[in-house]
């Protein structure tokens, strides 16, 4: 008898464990909303996919639709994953780190399930970077809703920098995304080191010393004599050279390596061998971050707009506050940028239209963002007027008006050479040649490794050639 009971219990337990695996669909609490006026046919939940907290922070602080308490703080859930709008709609944030392609993997999965997901689980809005924007704005794939379908016209966006629209325009001329920022790059340097080595920290004088790569080399050698490093990681100059290419990465099935990138390789090898850089591997690592702190021996970093007010300021800490300045550097370049894209299948088209217009096209909001966060926003007029304002200055940069430098550089940004393969090519190229810089492999092996990696990453290129520049 006893045995029978035990066996029955065991069988039950086993059956239960099987059933338990099958169920478990999680449904977010949709009944929390109190109902408002705007959300009639609209869904109650807006799902936003993003890779860091940058946009989330801006949204919570500056989007007018967010419900706020008396102090103006946004009403959010405790873990910040939900922001409540005043009309009762909830904004759900799904944040996946960019590293190793995780963000895109999760996003692709979610987009593939868009057809079968419940309305409130569908992706409504997602963010992309320039490196892979083309993957999502492709007209054939059609995961991005053209702005015209949302009711946003070209007039609404007329003040934006042209290139920010070019990047997300598909083959048929439809704009499928919009950005709140333009991202020209500058060279950010430590004032204290500049004074020690060059006797001045004046941005114009320093710019004069760094205005082309030959001068930059001389300056780097002077820095070395005093025990400093001109640069931190080889990856720091990649964007500067990589943006000045003469053709896109891929032509048909062939991968074209530009001469500008080979110049990068040559310079990095020299800097690494001669001890002109700090030999830090990669970017956004602990070592790289701490090299931007007050005790570091590294002179400067190539950074674009968001890098200065968001990353560098954070890494510099209190001690480094006010010890930084920016200048144009040897070559114009841009880096990064984030675009908002409405996902096909969204049930919140009205909200998305409002979010996009407020966050990327409202001159007042954009001006406020620039004044308060020092980010460089996507409105040419507003930026030019701040640039011309003699009273505007950044305390972090010890009173410099960096917006003036950005405003000068932004109109000349040319993104016509971006391709859907940029992210993979950029990663594979840097990884393959890092071994060469570190003396682990010779030049030809590094080239062969790049060819191998790129064909592994993009099977569609496996039958093509990798074309290296002559010489």
DSSP E strands in 311-418: the ranges are 324-327, 338-342
CB closer to other proteins, 177 vs 330: 177
Give the C-alpha separation, 249 to 256, whole Å: 5
CB closer to other proteins, 19 vs 70: 19
Residue among 330, 343, 337 at smallest CA distance from 415: 337
- Please, what is the minimum distance in Å from the beta carbon of residue 10 to other proteins? 8
Strands 82-84 and 250-251 turn out to be: unpaired
- The binding site for other proteins (CB under 8 A) comprises 7, 10-11, 14-15, 18, 99-101, 108, 111, 134-136, 138, 140-141, 143, 279-282, 285-287, 290, 420, 431, 434-435, 438, 440-441, 445, 449, 452, 456-460, 462
CB closer to other proteins, 75 vs 457: 457
- Please, what is the minimum distance in Å from the beta carbon of residue 115 to other proteins? 14
User: Within 10 Å of residue 156's Cβ, how many Cβ atoms?
Assistant: 17
- Please, what is the minimum distance in Å from the beta carbon of residue 263 to other proteins? 23
CB closer to other proteins, 62 vs 433: 433
CB closer to other proteins, 140 vs 204: 140
β-pair partners for 190: 324
CB closer to other proteins, 368 vs 417: 417
- Please, what is the minimum distance in Å from the beta carbon of residue 136 to other proteins? 7
- Please, what is the minimum distance in Å from the beta carbon of residue 2 to other proteins? 14
Give the C-alpha separation, 299 to 301, whole Å: 7
Residue among 400, 413, 256 at smallest CA distance from 335: 413
Question: Hey, CA dihedral for 358, 359, 362, 368, is it positive or negative?
Answer: positive
Strands 338-342 and 125-129 turn out to be: antiparallel
- Please, what is the minimum distance in Å from the beta carbon of residue 132 to other proteins? 8
Joined together, the tokens standing for residue 194 give: 């500049």
- Please, what is the minimum distance in Å from the beta carbon of residue 49 to other proteins? 14
CB closer to other proteins, 58 vs 134: 134
Q: How far is C-alpha 344 from the geometric centre of its chain's CA atoms?
A: 22
User: Within 10 Å of residue 173's Cβ, how many Cβ atoms?
Assistant: 8
- Contacts of 32 by beta carbon, 8 Å cutoff, 6+ apart: 90
CB closer to other proteins, 151 vs 281: 281
Residue among 291, 298, 257, 258 at smallest CA distance from 276: 298
- Please, what is the minimum distance in Å from the beta carbon of residue 306 to other proteins? 23
Residue among 47, 53, 46, 49 at smallest CA distance from 87: 46
CB closer to other proteins, 104 vs 348: 104
Looking at residue 186, the DSSP 8-state letter turns out to be: E
- Please, what is the minimum distance in Å from the beta carbon of residue 455 to other proteins? 9
- Do residues 310 and 54 make contact, with C-beta atoms less than 8 angstroms apart? yes
- Please, what is the minimum distance in Å from the beta carbon of residue 13 to other proteins? 11
Give the C-alpha separation, 111 to 124, whole Å: 10
Helix (H/G/I), strand (E/B), else coil: 326: strand
Report CA Rg, the chain.
25
Tokens 């308490």 found at? 69
CB closer to other proteins, 49 vs 63: 49
DSSP E strands in 386-470: the ranges are 466-467
- Please, what is the minimum distance in Å from the beta carbon of residue 270 to other proteins? 18
CB closer to other proteins, 84 vs 271: 271
């Amino acid at each position: 008898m006893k045995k029978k009971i035990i066996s029955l219990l065991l069988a039950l337990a086993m059956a239960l464990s099987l059933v338990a695996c099958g169920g478990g669909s999680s449904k977010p609490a949709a009944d929390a909303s109190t109902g408002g006026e705007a959300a009639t046919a609209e869904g109650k939940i807006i799902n936003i996919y993003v890779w860091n907290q940058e946009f989330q922070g801006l949204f919570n602080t500056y989007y007018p639709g967010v419900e706020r308490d008396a102090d103006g703080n946004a009403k959010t859930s405790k873990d910040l994953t939900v922001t409540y709008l005043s009309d009762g709609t909830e904004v759900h944030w799904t944040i996946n780190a960019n590293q190793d392609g995780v963000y895109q993997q999760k996003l692709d999965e979610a987009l593939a399930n868009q057809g079968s997901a419940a309305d409130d689980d569908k992706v409504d809005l997602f963010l992309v970077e320039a490196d892979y924007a083309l993957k999502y704005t492709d007209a054939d794939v059609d995961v991005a809703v053209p702005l015209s379908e949302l009711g946003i016209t070209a007039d609404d966006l007329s003040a934006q920098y042209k290139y920010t629209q070019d990047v997300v325009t598909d083959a048929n001329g439809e704009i499928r995304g919009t950005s709140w920022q333009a991202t020209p790059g500058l060279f950010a340097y430590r004032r204290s080191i500049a004074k020690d080595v060059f006797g001045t920290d004046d941005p114009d004088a320093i710019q004069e010393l760094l205005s082309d790569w030959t001068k930059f080399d001389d300056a780097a050698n002077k820095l070395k004599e005093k025990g400093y490093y001109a640069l931190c990681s080889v990856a720091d100059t990649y964007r500067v050279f990589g943006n000045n290419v003469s053709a896109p990465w891929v032509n048909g099935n062939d991968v074209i390596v530009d001469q500008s990138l080979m110049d990068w390789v040559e310079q990095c090898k020299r800097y690494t061998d001669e001890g002109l850089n700090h030999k830090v591997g990669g970017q956004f690592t602990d070592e790289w971050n701490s090299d931007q702190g007050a005790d570091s021996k590294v002179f400067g970093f190539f950074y674009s707009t968001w890098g200065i007010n968001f990353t560098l300021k954070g890494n510099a800490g209190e001690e480094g506050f006010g010890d930084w300045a920016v200048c144009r550097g040897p070559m114009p370049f841009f880096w990064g940028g984030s675009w908002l894209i409405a996902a096909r299948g969204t049930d919140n088209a009205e909200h998305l239209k409002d979010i996009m217009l407020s966050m990327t096209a409202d001159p007042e909001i954009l001006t406020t963002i620039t004044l308060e966060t020092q980010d460089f926003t996507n409105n040419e007029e507003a930026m030019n007027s701040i640039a011309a304002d003699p009273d505007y200055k950044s305390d972090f940069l010890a009173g410099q008006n960096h917006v003036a430098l950005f405003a000068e550089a932004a109109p000349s940004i040319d993104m016509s050479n971006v391709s859907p393969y940029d992210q993979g090519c950029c990663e594979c190229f840097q990884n393959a040649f890092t071994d060469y810089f570190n003396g682990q492999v010779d030049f030809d092996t590094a080239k062969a490794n790049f060819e191998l990696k790129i064909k592994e990453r993009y099977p569609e290129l496996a039958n093509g050639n990798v074309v290296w520049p002559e010489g």
